[in-house]
Amino acid sequence: MHGSNVEQHRRQRFDQIVGVFHQDMYRYAAWLSRDKAIAEDVVQEALLRAWKSLDSLRDDAAAKPWLLTIVRRENARYFERKRLETVDIDSLTASQAALLSEQPDDDLGAMREAMYSLEDEYREPLVLRVLMGLSTNEIAEQMGLKQGAVLTRLHRARAKLKRIMQAQAAD
């Protein structure tokens, strides 16, 4: 195949994959960083990295976990570069607050706040399970955990959210 045709084919493949999964990439980045502006930066970096290493993706059926892994690493790199402090829900920047301001109704807003306040180690597996539909096996691989640990974290995450929501309802 001629060089430029190879490049064109590569670009088509990339556009196809990204077209399907860019929303997942953004949402994952947003819930990892808890900041819409950072999420956009992370996704941009992740897209660039995905493009450069596209040839390492042997099977397009595995594109979703592959892209999510890239997003996860880019998010970690971003925070490493910026040395960002952990976020306090009471002192949010505009970009952080924007994540919570997008509330179709009060109930959903309360749940977003509860998700936001959850520790990273509980929020992330829940996002991967509920939003991304990854299996516990895939989550374990993604997060470098054992399957039992993922199940425990999922259980605890839901129990914590339930408690937070009950407390909010009681207020």
Residues within the interface to other proteins (CB under 8 A): 3-4, 6-7, 10-11, 14, 18, 22-23, 26-27, 30-31, 36, 40, 43-44, 47-48, 51-52, 54, 99, 102, 107-108, 111-112, 115, 119, 121, 126-127, 130-131, 136, 145-149, 151-152, 154-156, 158-159, 161-162, 165
In terms of CB distance, is 63 or 161 closer to other proteins?
A: 161
**Closer CB to other proteins, residue 49 or residue 79?**
49
Q: How far is the CB of 169 from other proteins (least distance, A)?
A: 12
| Contact criterion met (CB below 8 Å) for 126 and 158 | yes
Q: Among all chains, which residue has been given the structure tokens 């790199």?
A: 77
Residue 121: count of CB within 10 angstroms of its CB = 13
Instruction: Tell me which residue has tokens 């939003």.
Output: 131
Residues contacting residue 39 through CB under 8 Å, at least 6 positions apart? 26, 29, 30, 32, 33
